[in-house]
Structure 1
């Protein structure tokens, strides 16, 4: 009886911890989902893209606890369907990338409409509707009968992929050419946020190891004037101390050049942010 009680208690504690961690991750997802939705990535596309990531992390966790990465074990840890896990394991055994696995994927109607438009070679413009010639409405219905053509067009207009004037839909070809500066800015943001999360999670998950510096100063009930003062001072401090750290980093890079053990990357980041207090 005591053993069962202990087991039930442990199960409840683990469930509570998982739920608490999930709630914290969901806080972060507010900003990430905003980024995704503004970019045209919906829930179904995002969850599908998460599948190989959850697969990989489940495998890493099984390796960490020295357990065999069976289909059942990976499925249990990751929450993925067994057939998806099987597909991922098969492509790995064939030396292929996880993206080559045949798993269930969502249908993105707007992107498939554009893909069909380009594949058919119907030029840069189409009438929204027409009884006698190819039209945008016809395109959408060939992809899906469940999505209203007007809703699909509104989404493409929101993403600046298409425009509409006088009943004519125009494809914005320039949107298919990535802006190098924007791509680089996204990569930098991703690397910085990733490093910050890795540092914080290292401190949480490895309390017996040397912690990373991961601190923040927070002050509330401030006026806009005070915010501006703090903003200015933070920039001044960053300019002053970042140069000192950059100088040391350059010296150490030169010193370590050619050393076979020089296989690590160091990142020091600072950010500032302010927002209105939510009542």
Structure 2
């Protein structure tokens, strides 16, 4: 992605969050107020608002795929005792769980064969030696689909920014936003911590997905939404302007 394209996407994100998250009660959000909130020029605000709201519009490739994958990772009939997604037969035989049954448990608008062909092409699944469909790890990490990656970039960054702003403005921070950080590490230790934290993060994501996926089955529905996320960053800090001192080397902690 080029820098101008990134800047334009970030500009869209700012305008979208200001429009939807910071509207005044019983008042129409105006271009002028959005411009004041974001610092984006009013003409650009008008153009971007007219182009739609990318953060709130969920691409079909996201909503359908994520719902089916979430069910595969959470529903007891599609995972083993350890919570690992089972390889699935194409169609059901003698009541056994199948890929067709998985897709149909989420939506009747899509043919299971069409979903399978699409997922094979996107390398979200593969066929094993017993002609069973196996979920790939890449199904949980959007890589090749630009639309999917840009959607999650805008959504996750927007939610993180909104939570951060609320925490700064509120007397008592309403949202959990913490980080554990250590500086002055060797590259080997930094990579080791990255691998360990990634393992814990994936395990937690799977547990939360299982809990939410089961709880939603009996939920009447409404206008509320919930998003839980985690990020990991490992980088070389030698290019930073600030010099390392004995006081800040290996400084670490949990920060709000």
Q: Given the two structures, how large is their TM-score scaled by the length of structure 2?
A: 0.43
Task: Indicate the structure with greater helix content.
Answer: 1
Q: Which one scores higher on RCO, CA 8 angstroms, separation ≥ 6?
A: 2
